[in-house]
Amino acid sequence: MSKAIRIHAYGGPEVLKWEDVPLPEPGPGEALVKHTAIGLNFIDVYFRTGQYKVPGFPAVIGQEGAGVVTALGPGVESVAVGDRVAYAGPLGAYAINRVIQADRLIKVPDTVDLTTAACLMLQGLTAQYLLHRTFVVKPGDTIVVHAAAGGVGLLLCQWAKYLGARVIGVVSSEAKAELARQNGAAHVVIGHAGLPAEVKRITGGAMVPVVYDSVGKDTFAASLDCLAPLGLMVSYGNSSGPVPPVDVSILSAKGSLFLTRPTLSTHSAKRADLERMAADLFEVVAAGVVKAAVHQTFALQDAAAAHRALEARETTGSTVLLP
Ligand code: NDP
């Protein structure tokens, strides 16, 4: 037998139940991974509440983990028993042991510990594609990053600064502002009410070519007002709730703007892309350019407490659950 956090219905943190589950067996193309750490992400909240749907109940949520391969199904050649691996994507991470398609696993370099890997895969790969593919950030660009002291946010601040960009971070408190500054934000705005005016002041009226908005409903309108003509609105999350339907004519009225709603799953769907993104991520981590920030740890069986902290905006940086 093994243990996992399962949900039997959508709801508040109390639906997360620590339960006995059978030890899974890997089928063709699959590997059994014994987790040493599991990443906590805001997307886990969406799956718990039903904003995003699980395939059926009971369900094991969670989309990021790191650990050691303990068994292989037939036909797996990309990893071996004993390999240190990490992944982001397939549901089922809130468990001591899990089965996963072996082609989703990335071998973790010896220089990176497994707890760090567990918090880097989902948030770090997201930062990678947002800065290199969704919009190619160049030296001299000024960019707006919402939730700048959060998991994805701190990685975006560090990496964008390394790329030569000037980051305007948006946060909800002075303590978070200080953290964003320490991680590379050149300017920090507290709250989004006056954000467009602040961006106008900081940029001398030019406004910005891209806004990375993970907050959603509460910030969408203010984010559009920060963009220069032909700018790109990157709406990549809903931590305050989903963005209501958009009248696309607003994009012409505000200066021929572009709008995208990207996901990591699209960007990492092809194995070659996943490998390239992970190599890029581990390179900047090895160089010390991007430092993973495990700011909170919880026991896996206390996942409900971790969810409460994340939803209450009490966390900064990344959070891991330890089995
Ligand atoms: P964070 O650590 O960023 O936590 C969420 C933060 O959002 C909070 O700390 C808070 O920062 C801010 N926030 C603003 N309004 C609210 C609200 N009403 N309730 C709760 N939080 C709020 O989480 P993650 O780093 O895990 O994820 C960040 C976002 O990125 C999420 O929306 C997530 O879904 C998205 N994401 C999208 C991906 C994609 O590929 N599309 C992949 C990975 C993540 P503050 O207090 O400073 O406002």
For 189-228, how does the pLDDT look when each residue is reduced to its tens digit (9 = 90+)?
A: 999 999 999 999 999 999 999 999 999 999 999 999 999 9
Ligand 1 atom nearest residue 267's Cα: 40
Measured distance CA(142)–CA(303) in Å, rounded = 37
Ligand 1 probe mutation, 44, 154, 168, 215, most atoms within 8 A of CB? 215
pLDDT attached to residue 293: 80
Has residue 130 been placed in a domain?
no
State whether 87 and 12 are in the same domain.
yes
Residues 226, 284 within the same domain: no
Q: Is residue 58 part of a domain?
A: yes
Indicate if 43 and 117 belong to the same structural domain.
Answer: yes
Residues with CB under 6 Å of ligand 1 are 41-43, 122-123, 126, 147, 149-153, 171-172, 176, 214-215, 218, 236-240, 262-264, 310-311, 313, 315
* pLDDT value, residue 228: 98
What is the span of the domain harbouring residue 146? 139-261
Q: Is 116 part of a structural domain of the chain?
A: yes
| Same-domain check for residues 226 and 200 | yes
In a shared domain, residues 113 and 145: no
- Looking up residue 170, the CATH number of its domain turns out to be 3.40.50.720
156 in any annotated domain: yes
132 located within any domain: no
pLDDT of residue 202: 98
Atom of ligand 1 nearest to the CA of 241: 18
Do 150 and 251 belong to one domain? yes
Token pair, residue 245, equals 């339907």
293 and 254 assigned to the same domain = no
What pLDDT was estimated at residue 98? 98
197 shares a domain with 285: no
Judgement on whether residues 190 and 301 belong to the same structural domain of the protein: no
Give, for ligand 1, the residue of 313, 315, 320 to mutate: max count of ligand atoms closer than 8 Å to Cβ: 313
* 144 lies in the same domain as 257: yes
Q: Which of 211, 228, 261 is where one domain is finished?
A: 261
In a domain, 273, yes or no: no
Q: How many domains does the chain have?
A: 2
Both 111 and 153 in a single domain? no
Global confidence as pTM: 0.97
Smallest CA-to-CA distance from 104 within 265, 283, 284 is with 265
* Pairing of β 106-107 and β 97-101: unpaired
Residues of the chain with pLDDT under 50: none
Q: Is 268 domain-assigned?
A: no
The verdict on 253 and 145 lying in the same domain is: yes
Q: Is residue 269 part of a domain?
A: no
How large is the angle between the packed helices 303-311 and 42-49, nearest 10 degrees?
Answer: 100
Q: How far is CA 14 from CA 9, 296, 303, 312, in A?
A: 10, 20, 10, 15
**Cα angle at 49 between 248 and 303, to 5 degrees?**
130
String of DSSP letters for 108-165 = PPTTS-HHHHHHHHHHHHHHHHIIIIIS---TT-EEEESSTTSHHHHHHHHHHHHTT-
